[in-house]
Amino acid sequence: MAVLRNVLVCFLLLEVYISVVSCTFFNVGVKYKVTMDMYSGRDNPEWEIDEKSPVFNDITQSLNKGPPSGMFTGLGYRGFTVQANNAMGQQAWKTIGRRTDRALESLLLESCPKGQLSPAAMQHVSSGILGHVHTPPVKVAPVQQQQQQYSVSIEGGEDDSITIKHNINVFGRKKRQANGGGTCSTSFMPENWNYAPVQRRNNCYNYATNRQTNTFAQPGRASGMRYQRTTARDVYAATIRDGLTPLTSPNAGRGCLIALIIWPGEDYHFLRLDNDGYWSQKSGRTRARNTDDSGNLIRDPRRSDNGPYRVFAGWLGVTELAVVR
């Protein structure tokens, strides 16, 4: 009897080994790590669910139906990535792009721990799943209401306003790097960014400043004082601490021109002007592109389709003095 039991155990172990080698994922002690892909500058929200979750079984059944789907590449909610981990140490992944499986997307949103997302973010994702995204008009933040003389001193109130005092003259240029002027000549070359691991380790701040740090750079980190709130005032001030130059207009300055836009209370995003006269961008860990969310070439970031990033915070110049991390 003992011999028979040992034979059965060996047979079962052999079956498990063969299945692992052939990439079969065992549904034993499974937990899911859910990543909601929606931010450009900040890290995306993540959480874990297990059998205690009331939607665990429904999510399991839905995940086992159909192949992975491609993620939306624009700004705002793009979809989910689910990493399954079992008790045997195996891992499996599946991507669920925006509006590709609304039932599963809704279950994953429901599994998000209470309080992890703001009510506004929850509403944005819910609307994205249902396809009812509302695009309000662009709001220009008071950061653009600047004087003609400046220094790096910044005054700001609780109303998200900024006043930048200039102490040197700012000379305008018409097309900046688009006509070969200044000290910048960035070209739209997505092949330099759209490959692993560079694509996943660099965000919009890296791309706009043309610096591949592989650190998912954050405004203010290089200076030792990151932004505290996701507002035009705080993020703009943090970039200046990193050595970027505040500009009163897109024709000012001599360095590379970038623009800062804000998803109020949620996230920030940067775009850059290339030497072909158009703007390009990289949303978080997605691919670099030279189009807006409507698929149009970007002539002016204040008038392009920027998804939920509806506050235009201002222009900035990038020179060799800028340091990002």
316: which residues sit within 8 A by CB, 6+ positions away? 236, 239, 240, 244, 245, 246, 247, 257, 258, 259, 260
| Whether residue 256 has pLDDT greater than 70 | yes
190: which residues sit within 8 A by CB, 6+ positions away? 280, 287, 288, 289, 290
pLDDT at 28: 85
For 70-89, what is each residue's pLDDT tens digit?
Answer: 999 999 999 999 999 999 99
| Whether residue 158 has pLDDT greater than 50 | no
| Whether residue 274 has pLDDT greater than 80 | yes
For 211-241, what is each residue's pLDDT tens digit?
Answer: 999 999 999 999 999 999 999 999 999 999 9
pLDDT at 84: 96
Q: What's the rounded Cα separation, in Å, for the pair 117 and 121? A: 6
Residue, of 292 and 158, whose pLDDT is higher: 292
pTM: 0.82
For 73, left (φ over 0), alpha (ψ -120 to 50), or beta? Answer: alpha
5: which residues sit within 8 A by CB, 6+ positions away? none
pLDDT at 176: 53
pLDDT at 5: 43
| Whether residue 155 has pLDDT greater than 60 | no
For 103-118, what is each residue's pLDDT tens digit?
Answer: 999 999 999 999 999 9
pLDDT at 167: 35
Q: What's the rounded Cα separation, in Å, for the pair 245 and 222? A: 15
Cα four-point dihedral sign 114, 118, 123, 128: negative
| Whether residue 129 has pLDDT greater than 80 | yes
For 37-56, what is each residue's pLDDT tens digit?
Answer: 999 999 999 999 999 999 99
| Whether residue 134 has pLDDT greater than 80 | no
- In the structure, what pLDDT confidence band is assigned to residue 124 with cuts at 50, 70 and 90? very high
Q: How is the chain split among helix, strand and coil, in percent rounded to 5?
A: 25, 25, 50
| Whether residue 126 has pLDDT greater than 90 | yes
Which pairing describes strands 288-289 and 245-247: parallel, antiparallel, or unpaired?
unpaired
Q: What's the rounded Cα separation, in Å, for the pair 118 and 104? A: 21
Of 123, 71, 112, the C-alpha closest to 263 is 123
For 175-196, what is each residue's pLDDT tens digit?
Answer: 556 555 556 879 999 999 999 9
Rounded percentage of the chain residues whose pLDDT exceeds 90: 72
pLDDT at 175: 53
